[in-house]
Amino acid sequence: MVFWVIRLLYFLLIIAILLFGFRDGGPFAFRQADSLDEHITMAVVGCLAVLLLGLAIDMLVPRKNIAALAGIFFGLIAGLIIGLALNFVIDFFYEIYGITESTKPDLYIARNGIKLLVNLFCCYLAITWVMQTKDDFRFIIPYVEFSKQTKGNCPLLLDTSVIIDGRIADIASTKVITSPMVIPRFVLNELQNIADSSDRLRRNRGRRGLDVLNKMQSNPDIDLTIQDISLISKEAAEPVDHKLVSAALKVAGKVVTNDYNLNKVASIRGVDVININDLANAMKSVLLPGELMQVKVVKPGDQPGQGVGYMDDGTMVVIEQGRDFLHRDVEVVVTSVLQTSAGRMIFGKVENDSISHNH
């Protein structure tokens, strides 16, 4: 709403300038007596046209890229400086060859046009050069990057495993995620390659990931975009996991994954990671040593006498003295809880009252 108010004021200001400047006797009104006034008027009209063009560009391009704007700005400055230097060279050659208004009027009049073309050429080359090389020469002052120190809504980059897993769609639909979620183009390409695989299991996983993406994109409450994040040639040749970390560094974002190895790689390179498994573990009920719980022993454990059961949320419970109670519900006393990124394990032993009751 604020931007529309600014645009309206900007437009009204242009209209006011037109009405005031081109009224009878106004400073920009046409005067047939003096051709210079006509040139001035044409220049002013051209400037106002540029202002209106700027308003149109602002409205037609709602999502601006600060990196692109900065590249254009510094490229324009560099191009103007280089063009100004070349203009002095042009004036120098004109003096050497004695080209003046009296000797060679045609070439002399063309001097300003040549200078304009040189300036435009330098600005174009400088802007394109800056946009293409800003990732390779960050030590140059115009390319200095400032680390994002604020704790704002930085983008969340999703990897292939977390998309196939599917839980991210349910988490995002609860509106607990306020940050924009981004899927780099190379992640989408890998997901499509998996869906086109000749292996049936791998193909099903890829198709599930594409279904999850369609579900998320059709949800108006989820801010999900697919972006082409430019990487330098060295980074583009890396495996997908490393490219994802490089992309997160470039956009100052976080990686969302459930891949333990990717979690470690991102941490080493200084990228924040949101691990879906850690999030799921954090949402599980907290049990303290000494608490009682009822578990069904479903299979024997690795150690003699052990039994294994599972809670409703899938947490594994290793039960001492539980092998004798296979396929039965027993009261278990929690002895310890082991928390890892791979999941949570609960260790306990059969309650004495449960043993006597079963006997």
What residue ranges do the domains of the chain occupy?
Answer: 2-143, 156-281, 285-358
Which tops the pLDDT comparison, 114 or 36?
114
Q: What is the pTM of this model?
A: 0.48
Decide if pLDDT at 359 tops 70: no
Decide if pLDDT at 57 tops 70: no
Residue 340 CB-half CA count within 13 A: 8
Shared fold status for 156-281 and 285-358: no
Q: What proportion of the chain, given as a percentage, has pLDDT over 70?
A: 70
Three-state SS letters, 260-315: HHHHHHHHHCCCCEEEHHHHHHHHCCCCCCCCEEEEEEEEECCCCCCEEEECCCCC
pLDDT per residue as tens digits for the range 271-296: 889 988 888 777 777 778 888 888 99
Query: In the prediction, which pLDDT does 59 show?
Result: 66
pLDDT per residue as tens digits for the range 161-207: 899 988 899 888 888 888 899 999 989 999 999 999 888 888 999 99
CATH number of the structural domain 285-358:
2.40.50.140
Query: In the prediction, which pLDDT does 137 show?
Result: 45
Q: Rg for the chain (alpha carbons), in Å?
A: 34
- Of 301, 304, 302, 284, which is closest to residue 293 (Cα–Cα)? 284
- Per the prediction, the chain carries an average pLDDT of 77
Neighbours of 38 (CB within 10 A): 13
Three-state SS letters, 119-166: HHHHHHHHHHHHHHHCCCCCCCHHHCCCCCCCCCCCCEEECHHHHHHC
For residue 205, give the 3-state DSSP assignment. helix
Residues contacting residue 39 through CB under 8 Å, at least 6 positions apart: none
In Å, how far from its chain's centre is CA 76? Answer: 26
Decide if pLDDT at 85 tops 80: yes
CATH number of the structural domain 156-281:
3.40.50.1010
Which tops the pLDDT comparison, 135 or 123?
123
Residues in the chain: 359
pLDDT per residue as tens digits for the range 298-315: 999 888 889 999 887 778
Decide if pLDDT at 32 tops 50: no
Query: In the prediction, which pLDDT does 358 show?
Result: 53
